[in-house]
């Protein structure tokens, strides 16, 4: 199997030597450059699979290197990682908005370096697959973390506090920003003309919401509301668009998310049309469990209103309550103080099969 080729641009002799050694021991082919000018020349000559570049360098700094790379059609899509001693979020934002894919802060461990390199190369390989590869590639991309640059930019923005049941954005309004959840849980839903709600998504810490309307250039198709107290970062529309325009991987990532979103909605419609009441309620419980359960062996417990749970299940509140009562009598769940505790997750999952 052909070794991946990495270009390392670093002016500090010790850092350059140690970093190159770590990469070579992990079976990467490493090309080194001691300044930005030589680095650009070697990038054009060797066409590396990935570039790791320091920011503060003589002759041509990291931002200049990235600018030069982006102007060369043959290498402009090469994954690019900044290697930097700078730790201020504003500096990260400058680099990421220029089109970098990731950053590693000095000092770093060998595992941090290799994890970043491996993750970026895997994502690049996935990105180059044709969308015709099907939903398997889409699902694999969704399991990967969103590129760190967008997370860093989001966390550097101003954040708002939303109280439980407060609307974050409303169906029919025009989008002006991307929302990034720092704390709390959010649901999105559509309202039928008869007043009934259909939940279209469940979101938690680290999720983005509102991106579909931004990408499509349309009004919001649903409403987002806080399920509990939330803190949400607000990424201005122009910042989001700048990142997409300067980062082809991120653009394709969001296109795949759109394709996956369509598939999920189709599956949801089929489930609402053909699933039994018991299966709908079990599905709603497992959706919440899969989305919000933290690590550990304790049983999952949820504090959610029956109205919200009914809208997730796509059934009437009265029908939901009867089904929950049946599940409790069968020992599948327990209900204490309004909270629902899942006792038999496997049996609930079996109801979906």
pLDDT tens digits, residue range 278-296? 999 998 898 888 888 776 5
Picking from 299, 228, 333, the residue whose alpha carbon sits closest to that of residue 320 is: 333
5-128 CATH choice from 3.40.50.920, 3.40.50.2300, 3.40.190.10, 3.30.365.10: 3.40.50.2300
Q: Which of 17-26, 109-118, 219-228, 307-316 comes out lowest in average pLDDT?
A: 307-316
- The structural domains of the chain, with segments of one domain joined by +, span 5-128, 150-272, 275-350
Least confident of 152-161, 174-183, 233-242, 250-259: 250-259
pLDDT confidence of residue 145: 37
Q: Say what the pLDDT of residue 313 is.
A: 87
pLDDT of amino acid 287: 84
192 has pLDDT over 80: no
Mean pLDDT for the chain overall: 82
Architecture of domain 150-272: Sandwich (2.60)
Who has greater pLDDT, 91 or 185? 185
Average pLDDT of 40-67? 92
- Of 38-47, 119-128, 190-199, least confident by mean pLDDT is 119-128
Residue 93, pLDDT > 90, answer: no
Residue 85 or 297, more confident: 85
> Sheet of 29-33: strands edge to edge?
29-33, 5-9, 50-54, 80-84, 102-105
- Which residues are registered as beta bridge partners of 187? 202, 225
Per the omega criterion (within 30 degrees of 0), is the bond before 107 cis?
A: yes
The per-residue pLDDT for range 144-165, each reduced to its tens digit, is: 434 555 666 666 677 899 999 9
Q: Is residue 345 scored above 60 in pLDDT?
A: yes
SS (H, E, C) the chain: CCCCEEEEECCCHHHHHHHHHHHHHCCCEEEEECCHHHHHHHHHHHCCCEEEEECCCCCCCHHHHHHHHHCCCCCCCCCEEEEECCCCHHHHHHHHHCCCCEEEECCCCHHHHHHHHHHHHHHHHHHCCCHHHCHHHHHHHHHCCCCHHHHHHHHCCCEEEECCCCEEECCCCCCCEEEEEEECCEEEEEECCCCCEEEEEEECCCCEECHHHHHHCCCCCCEEEECCCEEEEEEEHHHHHHHHHHCHHHHHHHHHHHHHHHHHHHHHHHHHHHCCHHHHHHHHHHHHHHHHCCCCCCCCEECCCHHHHHHHHCCCHHHHHHHHHHHHHCCCEEEECCEEEECCHHHHHHCCC
pLDDT, residue 12, reads 93
CATH 1.10.10.10 fits 275-350, yes or no: yes
Share of the chain above pLDDT 70, in %: 77
Residue 243 pLDDT level (bands cut at 50, 70, 90): confident
Instruction: Report the pLDDT averaged over residues 251-257.
Output: 67
Instruction: Indicate whether 254 pLDDT > 80.
Output: no
Q: Decide the pairing of beta strands 80-84 and 102-105.
A: parallel
């Amino acid at each position: 199997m052909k070794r991946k080729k990495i270009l390392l641009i670093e002016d500090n002799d010790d850092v350059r030597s140690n970093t190159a050694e770590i990469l070579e021991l992990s079976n990467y082919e490493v090309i080194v450059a001691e300044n930005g000018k030589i680095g650009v020349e070697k990038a054009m000559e060797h066409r590396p699979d990935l570039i790791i570049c320091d920011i503060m360098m003589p002759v041509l700094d990291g931002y200049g290197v990235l600018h030069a790379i982006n102007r060369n059609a043959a290498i402009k899509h090469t994954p690019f990682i900044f290697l930097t001693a700078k730790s201020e979020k504003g500096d990260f934002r400058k680099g990421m908005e220029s089109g970098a894919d990731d950053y590693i802060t000095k000092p770093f461990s060998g595992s941090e370096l290799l994890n970043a390199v491996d993750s970026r190369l895997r994502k690049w390989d996935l990105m180059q697959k044709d969308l015709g590869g099907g939903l398997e590639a889409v699902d694999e991309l969704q399991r990967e973390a969103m590129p760190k640059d967008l997370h860093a930019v989001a966390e550097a923005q101003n954040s708002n506090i939303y109280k439980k049941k407060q609307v974050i954005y409303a169906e029919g309004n025009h989008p002006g920003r991307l929302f990034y959840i720092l704390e709390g849980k959010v649901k999105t839903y559509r309202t039928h003309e008869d007043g009934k709600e259909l939940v279209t998504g469940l979101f938690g810490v680290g999720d983005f919401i509102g991106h579909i309307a931004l990408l499509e250039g349309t009004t919001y198709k649903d409403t987002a509301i806080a399920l509990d107290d939330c803190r949400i970062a607000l990424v201005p529309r122009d910042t989001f668009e700048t990142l997409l325009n300067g980062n082809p991987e991120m653009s394709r990532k969001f296109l795949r998310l759109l394709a996956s979103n369509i598939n999920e909605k189709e599956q949801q419609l089929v489930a609402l049309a053909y699933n039994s009441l018991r299966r709908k309620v079990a599905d709603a419980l497992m959706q919440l469990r899969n989305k919000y359960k933290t690590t550990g062996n304790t049983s999952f417990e949820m504090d959610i209103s029956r109205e919200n749970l009914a809208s997730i299940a796509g059934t009437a509140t009265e029908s939901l309550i009867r089904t929950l009562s049946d599940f409790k009598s069968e020992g599948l769940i327990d209900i204490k103080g309004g909270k629902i505790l899942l006792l038999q997750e496997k049996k609930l999952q079996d109801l979906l099969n």
